[in-house]
């Protein structure tokens, strides 16, 4: 029996990296993409060490570019054949206010945080539909539920991700494909670099990854539509 397969976008660091490592521990074939090839190469070596019998793809990809996203998806299908889990994690955070943030901020955030998920989902969903099986995790943010100061276009992009995920959930019910929206609060990733806050104030990326695995591990009869995780002391 062949290994099951997971695809994680934006996986070289933070939450995406932790999810890739978590599923590798369970023998999954893993395909990851990000912009920094050196970070991907390091991750690939770690994934292969964890699961020597798994296929590991680690390909450079600027998810703002539709052609690069589709090329990555083609490599996945050519090498894996089927995809059991898709994690739309790629995203960036740029602080600012709608009325004063630099020109182009909205476009950059929407292209990275939303369009990337839209394009790769459309590219990989056909096989899941044919098999009537699969799980999709869309990584949103508490910023997509409640706008906050200096959130600007980032918040807009995450509200859009919430809408994308809800629409997908409704569309894929007849095809028996699970769709889960992840809504994490402050997690210890590069997005918070230089904040000056102690590490203990943040959630660990590994906790998010554990939550994804736990949700995935439920029976075929059950889907968790949305899961919100926050630091124990609340939002920052």
Q: How far apart are CA 41 and CA 17, in angstroms?
A: 12
Q: Spot the catalytic one: 115, 148, 154, 216.
A: 154
154 is catalytic: yes
> What amino acid positions are annotated as catalytic residues?
154
């Amino acid at each position: 029996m062949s290994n099951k397969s997971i695809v994680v976008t934006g996986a070289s660091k933070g939450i995406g990296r932790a999810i890739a490592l978590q599923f590798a521990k369970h023998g999954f074939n893993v395909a990851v993409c990000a912009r920094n090839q050196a970070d991907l190469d390091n991750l690939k070596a770690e994934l292969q060490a964890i699961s020597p019998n798994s296929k590991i793809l680690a390909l450079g990809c600027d998810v703002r570019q539709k052609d690069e996203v589709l090329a990555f998806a083609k490599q996945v299908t050519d090498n894996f054949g089927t995809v059991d889990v898709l994690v739309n994690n790629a995203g960036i955070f740029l602080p600012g206010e709608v009325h004063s943030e630099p020109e182009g901020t909205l476009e950059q955030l929407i292209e990275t945080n939303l369009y990337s998920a839209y394009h790769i989902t459309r590219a990989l969903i056909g096989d899941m539909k044919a098999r009537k099986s699969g799980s999709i995790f869309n990584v949103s943010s508490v910023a997509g539920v409640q706008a906050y100061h200096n959130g600007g276009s980032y918040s807009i992009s995450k509200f859009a991700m919430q809408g994308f995920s809800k629409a997908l959930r409704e569309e894929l019910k007849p095809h028996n494909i699970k769709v889960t929206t992840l809504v994490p609060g402050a997690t210890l990733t590069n997005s918070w670099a230089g904040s000056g806050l102690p590490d203990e104030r943040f959630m660990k990326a590994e906790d998010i990854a554990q939550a994804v695995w736990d949700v995935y591990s439920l029976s075929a009869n059950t889907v968790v539509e949305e899961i919100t995780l926050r630091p124990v002391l609340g939002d920052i």
